[in-house]
Amino acid sequence: MARLSLTHFLIRCERTSGMDANLRLLLETVARAVKTISHAVGHGALGGVLGSAQTSNVQGETQKKLDIIANQMLIEANEWGGTLAAMASEEMDQPVGIPVAYPRGDYLLLFDPLDGSSNIDVNVSIGTIFSVLRAHDPKAEEAAFLQPGTSQVAAGYAVYGPQTQFVITVGQGVHEFTLDKDTGSFLLTRENLRIPAQTQEFAINMSNMRHWEAPVRRYIDECLAGADGPRGKDFNMRWVASMVSDVHRIMQRGGIFLYPRDRREPGKPGKLRLMYEANPMALLIEQAGGAASNGTQRILDIQPTSLHQRVAVVLGSREEVEYVARLSA
Ligand code: AHM
Ligand code: MG
């Protein structure tokens, strides 16, 4: 039997769950942008897209050429379709509105255009992460975006690896599409992904160990003690350093991912961004039966106070995330 295309799948969602047609158009447009980004990523050095752009983003991080190219591709694909009131990106200081020449819709799109920037130049998997909110405020300025993750109407990511995949939720499970590079279509390859509740695989940047707070240190010490320690089982470690890839692995076979706050900069609660990384991934993880917290609080319940705010992230297999929360209590 032929595989379902993304469009066909979304039309089925419209018919069976009353999903808004404009949300379908928006997701199809994001998917179109993702194909363009995938194409650019695939050209690598031959396309002149690698290396530093010699600029910094609002968080003071040096931007790669592909950070800027992917950001621009997402804006250009989405600004004219009539589904959006505004967009916000990890790579832009302020939200961007819809030019007056184009129709406006009532959704807000947030994205990390190119996640895993440190892996761009070394041909390791990278991705795009996005989140969709409703625009309740017609002005659609920064305040309109400051909604908790529970308000997301859709979220997803693309992974640019050996295959380009597009993984989405519209609040009813998580579904994976793989780009057929011969026809240019995203085809459904897994429906209703489920994350095992238990795991023996963790992902964390171990080089930060000396900066961690006591509960995370204890958790990892227990994992490292393996079968001889309190957990009574051996753990494996994986760290791609592209959140999309680490989350995608957890989506396939379970695991736990941690990017905790640490003591280096007490005012900075972790590295990852709530609005562009943690919230969309938390929705996807929960929709697949996993859990996502900042160590003590469910990520999706956090009331954001600023667009670029950072947050500690512990997500993945439900029982493991709950175990970390018990150590942190
Ligand atoms: P980015 O959005 O600038 O790429 O930063 C986020 C990335 C995540 O994908 C990944 O989990 C983390 O930063 C890696 O951090 P580290 O360099 O500490 O390994
Ligand atoms: Mg990122």
* Cα angle for residues 21, 173, 242 (degrees, 5° grid): 100
Query: Nearest bound ligand to CA 243?
Result: 1
Tokens of 60: 């003071």
Q: Is the CB of 328 under 6 A from ligand 1?
A: no
pLDDT at 94: 95
Centroid of ligand 1 to alpha carbon of 117 (angstroms):
7
Q: How far is the CA of 248 from the centre of ligand 1 (A)?
A: 15
Residue range 114-140: average pLDDT? 93
Concatenating the DSSP letter of every residue in 144-160 gives HH---GGG-SEEEEEEE
Closest-approaching ligand to the CA atom of 241 = 1
Atom of ligand 1 nearest to the CA of 259: 11
232 CA distance to ligand 2 middle (Å): 34
195-209, 216-230, 259-273: segment of lowest average pLDDT? 259-273
Task: Tell me 3's DSSP state.
Answer: P
Residue 241 DSSP label: S
Q: Among the CATH numbers 3.30.930.10, 3.20.20.370, 3.40.190.80, 3.30.70.2740, which is that of 201-328?
A: 3.40.190.80
Cβ proximity of 156 and 6 under 8 Å: no
Q: Is the CB of 262 under 6 A from ligand 1?
A: no
Q: Is 84 in the pocket of ligand 1 (CB under 6 A)?
A: no
User: What does the pLDDT average to over 29-49?
Assistant: 95
As a whole number of angstroms, the distance between CA 175 and CA 156 comes to 9
Q: Which strand (E) or helix (H) includes residue 65?
A: helix 65-78
- Contact 115 CB / ligand 1 (< 6 Å): yes
User: What percent of the chain clears pLDDT 70, i.e. is strictly above it?
Assistant: 100
CATH H superfamily, domain 6-190: Fructose-1,6-Bisphosphatase, subunit A, domain 1 (3.30.540.10)
Q: Which atom of ligand 1 is nearest to the CA of 244?
A: 9
Residue 322 CB neighbour total at 10 angstroms: 13
Any ligand 1 atom below 6 A from CB of 241: yes
Mean predicted confidence (pLDDT) in 286-301: 97
Q: Which atom of ligand 1 is nearest to the CA of 118?
A: 4
* Upper half-sphere CA count for residue 318 (Cβ side, 13 Å): 10
- Pocket residue to mutate for ligand 1, from 271, 273, 277, most atoms within 8 A of Cβ: 271
What is the distance between the alpha carbons of residues 254 and 1, in angstroms, rounded to a whole number?
Answer: 29
- Spell out the domain ranges in the chain: 6-190, 201-328
162-179 pLDDT per residue, tens: 999 999 999 999 999 999
Residue nearest (by alpha carbon) to ligand 1 atom 2: 115
Residue 165: other Cβ atoms inside 10 A: 24
* Residue 126 structure tokens: 């990278």
Indicate the pLDDT class of residue 93, thresholds 50, 70 and 90. Answer: very high
Query: Distance (Å, rounded) from C-alpha 296 to C-alpha 289?
Result: 18
What integer best gives the mean pLDDT of the chain? 95
